[in-house]
Amino acid sequence: MNEVGKNLKRIRLLKNLSLKKAGMLLNMSAPAVSKYEKGEIVPNSQKLIEFANAYDVKVLDLLKVYKIPQMEFKNFRKRRRLQGENLALLKEIIQNKVADYLEVIELQELKTNKNKIKKYICNSENDAEMSAEEFRRDYKLSTNQPIPDLINTLENIGIIIIEIDNPNGKFSDFDGFSEFVNDIPFIVLLNNIDGERQRFTIAHELGHLVLNIKDENLDKEKICNKFASCLLMPKEAVINEFGIARNHLSFYELRAFKSEYKTSMAAIIYRLKELNIISEYLFKKINISFSSKGYKKGEPFPIEVEKSYQFKRLVHKLEVDNIISLNKACELLGMTVNEYNNEDNNFRY
């Protein structure tokens, strides 16, 4: 299958179109669409325009060539329902996004800090707690204060954050992914999840990157959840805010801590139980209350989603420095020239 064929198939699947529906849009048979996707027929310029119009994309989207990196997908968290074509499509999209980032890094000649991401030996949940505290100290993050912008903090130490679109809810059963690619640490997640889940997912995937778990009998997902909880809600900070032991809690305390530390109230009360600040009885009581109020489906006072601006900023820098062309910049960002120029307010300094 050639690159154009791969792009045709990927975009069709993203648009949630069967071969038959695509053929109806293009006024051709389903087998004919399949032959274009397999590279058995190469579309001419007019046919490319027809495909682009039918799929509501740019012709450049059909012509793009990716240098696909070798990836293992070991720390790929998904639920059972994400299988088959959707799973294969998601992995392809991740590889393409990573390929774009690697290309930009190479063009930028970035010093990626790839040798500075420290590993922590972890053979228990207690080790995960200590590793989270040590990570904060190593990267000059206070152990009694929240991390205001987790994405920016991790990008500043050389970890690449990639957010994936979720068209038609195809990838809703994807939880997160992390891997070193060409010795560069990547974290991948969906871009349409709520703020508290986003931060916890990033912290969990960071655990996969920095924890050296030797014991094969340990549940790595559980250990990384522990690391994430401890990183976002360090023991010292939690005790400072709530005290050593409590028989009762006010709703406002949970709401205030959630707003400050940007974690869910469900995660907060679990952390309080874990640190023996509240009893098992009070933990269950609060959970029953949360369920009755519908908080399990969606908590009140949502946390604002964090955004990564690094990739787009690097592309703009490469273009304004004449390292890449305007068309190449638009291709990397998936934008039209007008959209790109509007981001610069049609003005250069």
What pTM did the predictor assign?
0.89
Residue 286 clears pLDDT 70, i.e. is over it:
yes
The predicted-structure confidence for 171-224, as pLDDT tens digits, reads as follows 999 999 999 999 999 999 999 889 999 999 999 999 999 999 988 899 999 999
CATH superfamily of domain region 3-63: lambda repressor-like DNA-binding domains (1.10.260.40)
Residue 34 clears pLDDT 50, i.e. is over it:
yes
Read off the pLDDT of each residue in 55-73 and give the average, rounded to a whole number.
88
Of the ranges 15-29, 137-151, 324-338, the best mean pLDDT one: 137-151
| pLDDT given for residue 64 in this prediction | 83
Q: What is the mean pLDDT of the chain?
A: 92
| pLDDT given for residue 112 in this prediction | 47
Helix H, strand E, coil C: the string for the chain is CCHHHHHHHHHHHHCCCCHHHHHHHHCCCHHHHHHHHHCCCCCCHHHHHHHHHHHCCCHHHHHCCCCCCCCCCCEEEECCCCCHHHHHHHHHHHHHHHHHHHHHHHHHCCCCCCCCCCCEEECCHHHHHHHHHHHHHHCCCCCCCCCCCHHHHHHHCCCEEEEECCHHHCCCCEEEEEEEECCEEEEEEECCCCHHHHHHHHHHHHHHHHEEECCCCCCHHHHHHHHHHHHHCCHHHHHHHHCCCCCCCCHHHHHHHHHHHCCCHHHHHHHHHHCCCCCHHHHHHHHHHHHHCCCCCCCCCCCCCCCCCHHHHHHHHHHHCCCCCHHHHHHHHCCCHHHHHHHCCCCCC
Residue 1 clears pLDDT 70, i.e. is over it:
no
Q: Please report, for the chain, the start and end positions of each structural domain, with discontinuous segments joined by +.
A: 3-63, 75-232, 310-343
